[in-house]
Structure 1
Amino acid sequence: MERERVGFNRPFFVLIFLQPMRKLTLIILIAALSACQNKEPNADNKDTSIKLLQNGEWRFSLKIENEELPFNVELSNVASKDPKAVILNGDERIESSQVTIKADSIWIRLPVFDTELRGKIESQNLITGFWINKTRQNYSIPFVAEYNKNFRFTPAKTSTVIKDRYHVIFGPNSEDQWDAILLLNQNPNKITGTFITETGDYRYLEGNIMNDKLYLSTFDGSHAFLFHADIDGDSLINGSFVSGIHYQADWLGNADTTFTLRKPQDLTYLKEGYEYLDFKLPNENGDTVTWDDMNLANKVVIVDIMGSWCPNCMDASASLKELTASYNSDEIEILPIAFELTSDLDAARKRIFKMQSDLGMKKKFLFGGYVSKEKAADTFPMLNKIMSYPTLIFIGKDREIKQIYTGFYGPGTGTYYTEFMSNTKKLLDRLVAEEG
């Protein structure tokens, strides 16, 4: 299979184009789903358990075959009409105010992505239920949530010290292997960090060391990632990466302070024989438009090739909003072109508008269609490839492409992110100052 990737990161690509991992025991899952999955909180029931549920930190654990994927959630105001939930991943805080508690049920709708946590309140200290991803057909993972557990994998201390930077290989010795950089912080047995690849980062990871084994996880409403590996001196061996219930990969790493990936600015480019980016796509209203129909003359344009299912796209969109806030609307235009997990515009519109609304952005986009490398290549024949969502194309007032940035290194990457923000602000200042 080609090295080029379509997707914000490797696991999403594999989800679309490779065979799925071994199926769960569906009989057990379906039986459990019938009791919980399709039942929304019943507003007609009396709130018999609303005061039993505890405010404070909860440890949620997704059950994936023989593994558990933990993450932490703070619940507050549970006895009021305005309960809140905050998902904790390292330094990240994902707040949901769309929390419903009725009778023995709790329903947490997650921001940006069309997913939710639905649970049954078993007691003041225990919730059981399912994480439901509505963007995928029949995609649910059971969870158990326990109160007053503020650790990820273990509360135990450790004397094991890990390195802060590793060169990682996913799928080692396979035709489809890929490189990454693992950045870690240890304090003292709270481990935080992220993986950086050529198509994006794996966002905020948090975990612990148990018995000389590293464990990391994240949950943001779209990503449900679990990593673990044995610590062997300066090496990480026997690594496993699990993404939800659909994908698993082996990995290994070696401490390395010098290994680098290719630069995001060098991966996607305009092919010979083409002068400009062009398109013919439906907008949010279903009207087919071209570049010339978009009133983009004498503007700096940032074409954001993205998807509402994509956490890296969420980070990029929020960052573009911040970067362009100081400019006038007639100086810079952000033009999202969305590729979705559906070919239906009405369904796509609902998901994209939710993302844009939750991020405080304009409800405006062009629809590229169903996410696939073939569709992206057909839509943009002037580009060598679309290997990642997002791909950001910076276009000057003269309509020339000034830079194409493949993938996105979000705020969980530290200096990689701050360098992007600084360099992009300088680029936008220069492009806005240029004559059209």
Structure 2
Amino acid sequence: MKIKLLLFLFLPFLSMAQETLWRLEIPSEGGAIPVHLLLTNDGKAFAINAGEKLEFDRVFTVEDKLHLRMELYDLELILAIKDGKLNGILNKRGADMLYRQVAFTGTANDPARFKNRAAGAARTLAPKYQIAFKNESSGKESPAIGVFEVNNGQVNGSFLTNTGDYRYLQGNISGDSLYLSALGSTAVMYKARIKGDSLTGGISYTPFGKGSAFSGVKNDSYALADASKLTFLKEGNDRFNFSFKDINGTDVSLSDPRFRGKVTVVQILGTWCPNCLDETRFLTEYKKENPGIEIIGLAFERSAEPSFAYPKIARFIERFGVDYPVLLAGTTQDAGEKLPQLNHVMAFPTSIIVDRKGQVRKIHTGFTGPGTGSYYDEYRKEFAAFIQQLQAE
């Protein structure tokens, strides 16, 4: 039986509630991760990150607890709200398919992200930094760009990498330090010192461990590697083909009549992948406005068991109004094996653009999403111009 989402109006602990912004503090090794949760009086819930309202898929009650689920991220918040106080559990399934939990608290109607942690005047943050993330276990460094907008010490921004971006991050400057956080596939926090034109001692945290260290230096002209040159067809291949099943068990191939003579985008994705969800929103909207294009999604999931993967893909299709086939291609671990014509699958998502003659014309690694501001605008312009060029040929 489907649960109606107007339950807020009937719950004893929310019977007097209007739209309420809750500031949650989720513990981590680096201190509390502050994020914002919006509960509305029509039974909806949203994670608030900078300019984004990220809606939870399901809102329902069990006994006296309110459950909020993001189905594709395997994330659930379980809340108890009483006398203006919130106590909760964050329940998250990781890439290893195991669930982990952490308890947290919340305060109503507190819009501040990070509390003022240091005395003295706040340091100045540049709009753009050349960033290096370092894996502390392997010592491997990965390049990135940090982009930030500052308004009265409040900061919105993101990190761009060769495999995608870190989506919407929100925080502030306190004294000599930058603090950013977000709630999405999990809760995450980034901290760094601002020293002149540099960011030093940066580190990221989730409720379940410490992430990569990072540092950076102001660099207005810095650019990442060309995203169209990182993934390519192996020598001797100029075409790309495959055959995988959709959620109805029907085999779909790029050589099917539906795609012949049409410009087609093959989207390598995972329903668990935040950047893939951003790309899917973009592609779905673009296809509605440009119906001459075709798109095929190849989903690589945490498990290829149909009982697990097909419901994920079905929810993915429903949530974003996807009107193109999304096929179960395999697991994240065997993407390279399932697509042997490629030199590698470096990132989820990766988009392969095929022209009317069936030849691969461009392979774009990663996706630059709406949290990156002008970078996203530039990506959309370049994508549209390239598709129009191919359609005109």
Q: Same fold by TM (over 0.5)? A: yes
Partner of 2:182: 218
| 1:384 aligned onto 2:384 | no
- Residue in 1 that maps onto 2:49: 89
In 2, distance between residues paired with 1:88 and 1:110? Answer: 14
Quick check: 2:81–2:87 contact (8 Å CA) kept in 1?
Answer: yes
Task: Point out where structure 2 has 5 or more consecutive residues left out of the alignment.
Answer: none
Alignment of structure 1 residues 156-305 onto 2, 5 Å: 158-171=121-134, 175-220=139-184, 222-293=185-256, 295-305=258-268
Change (3 A) 1:190 1:433: same
Q: Distance in 2 between matches of 1:137 and 1:53?
A: 35
SS in 1 for 2:156: strand
Contact persistence 1:390–1:408 (CA under 8 A):
yes
**For 2:255, what is the secondary structure of its paired residue?**
helix
Q: CA deviation at 1:210?
A: 2.2
> For 1:210-265, what per-residue CA distance to the aligned partner results, in whole angstroms no more than 9, with x for missing partners?
23111111112x14321101121211111111245155221111111122110111
Whichever residue aligns with residue 151 of structure 2, its letter is N
Aligned to 1:365: 326
- Whether 1:349 aligns to 2:310 is yes
After TM superposition, give the deviation of residue 55 of structure 1 in Å. 3.2
Where 1:49 maps in the other structure, the secondary structure is helix
Contact 1:307/1:339, CA 8 A, preserved across alignment: yes
Deviations 1:37-93 (A, max 9, x none): xxxx9x9xx83323255632110122223522211122221xxxx312222111111
Q: d(CA) in 1 for partners of 2:369 and 2:110? A: 28
Other-structure match for 2:355: 396
SS in 1 for 2:328: strand
Whether contact under 8 Å (1:198, 1:262) holds in the other structure is: yes
Q: Which of 70, 74, 81 is residue 121 of structure 1 equivalent to?
A: 81
Give the Cα–Cα distance (whole angstroms) in 2 for the partners of residues 390 and 325 of structure 1: 20
Q: Which amino acid aligns with 1:48?
A: P
Counterpart selection for 1:98 from 55, 58, 65: 58
* Residue of structure 1 in register with 2:277 after alignment: 314
Cα distance 1:319–1:171, how it changes in 2: closer, same or farther (>3 A)?
same
Confirm whether residue 431 of structure 1 aligns to residue 390 of structure 2: yes
- Deviation string for 1:270-302 (max 9, x for gaps)? 121112101132332334444334632112111
Alpha-carbon deviation of 1:311?
A: 0.5
- Determine the structure 2 residue equivalent to 1:407: 366
Mapping 1:10-49, distance limit 5 Å: 47-49=11-13
Distance 2:166 2:326 in 1: 25
**Greater percentage in strand:** 2
Corresponding residue for 2:19?
A: 55
What TM-score do the two structures reach when normalised by structure 1? 0.81
Query: SS at 2:145's partner residue?
Result: strand
Whether 1:141 and 2:102 are equivalent positions in the alignment is yes
Residue 298 of structure 2 corresponds to 337
Correspondence for 1:151:
112
Quote the residue 1:30 is aligned against: none
CA distance in 2: counterparts of 1:131 and 1:294, whole angstroms: 44
Q: Which amino acid aligns with 2:182?
A: T
Greater relative CO, 1 or 2 (CA 8 Å, sep 6+):
1
CA contact (8 A) 2:354 2:360 kept: yes
Q: What is the SS of the residue equivalent to 2:14?
A: coil
Matched with 1:75 is 39
- Rounded to whole Å, the distance in 2 between the matches of 1:418 and 1:324 is 17
For structure 1, which runs of at least 5 residues remain unmatched after alignment? 1-40
The more displaced of 184-193 and 122-131 is: 122-131
Total equivalences in the alignment: 382
Larger mean Cα displacement after TM superposition, 115-124 or 85-94? 115-124
